[in-house]
Structure 1
Amino acid sequence: MTIKNLKDLYLDQLKDLYSACKQSMPMVTELGRAAKSRELSEALIAGNQGIARGMEVLASICDGHGMDPTGEHCRGMEGLIVEARKHGIEASYGDEDAHDAAIITQYQRMAHYAIAGYGCVRTFANRLGLDGDAAALQECLDNTWEGDRHMTRIAEGGVNMAAVDGR
């Protein structure tokens, strides 16, 4: 697809974001299973539910533009998943709390990629006068930010401190 204007870029980025979300879900599930902290595991499960809701919004927006959201492969998220597997699943940790801190780190890296994606497509939708799209994408952006803040609270509320202490 040749991108000729902002609308073409917007549609392309919607598909890329959909791919990123789709790729991240299995990894978030794996990270949730690997977490020692029950609170962290439950937050990752909730995060996956949020990702699924975001995918529904993206699919609906794409459908409204007569476009299938699938077919794109997001290489950026692919790289983040490789890193999450390496550092959050396959790495060896002598301390379970340090492992949980690594899991939070990897989740937040993926979430920040989604935050950037949602922010860009929301901004494009605003510029294109697609108010309904922009509102739906803003909600996805807000939800993703909240998931990120929740992970920060888990990290700061005990995981990182326990990892320092090596409990």
Structure 2
Amino acid sequence: MTEMEVTEHFAGIALPGHLHTQESLHAAAAFQFRAGDVVVATYPKSGTTWMQEILTLMYSKGDGQLAKTVPNWARAPWLEHIYFKDMMQAGREPRIITTHLPCHVLAPALKKAKAKVIYVARNPKDIVVSFYHFHKMAKFLPEPSSFEDFLMQFLNGTGGLRLHWPLV
């Protein structure tokens, strides 16, 4: 079995094994945030990349050079991914950190710090359509059998499609 076929389960959600390990997920849950950190917290397919781009432009005073030359996963690394420690560049402030981890996992660590949290919400109908097509395209996610089945899994919170952030 390859890493692409592995699924890691953590805090009631399923995550792709090629990007997550139990070690990286536990490290994320215990991460020590700083007062200057900016955390982008989203449910998948809710506008994460847009927010990463907006913050990059804000903190570079509108200069698009950083956004054009450095991938978004390096500018705003994913807290729960296996490469997170390597992506956190020393000296870069504020640290922009991205996550799909559920709020009950991050709340204890965030309460200890004064990090800013930006929660991006999107209409659940739009999320499920986008997430379905993303599952069809992404080889590291399970192939959905039909939209109807995918929708039922999404609504029931099964198949790794649990709504782990409140949808406002």
Fold similarity call, TM over 0.5: no
- Normalized per residue, the structure richer in strand is 2
Structure of larger gyration radius: 1
- Normalized per residue, the structure richer in helix is 1
Normalised TM-score (structure 1): 0.26
Normalised TM-score (structure 2): 0.26
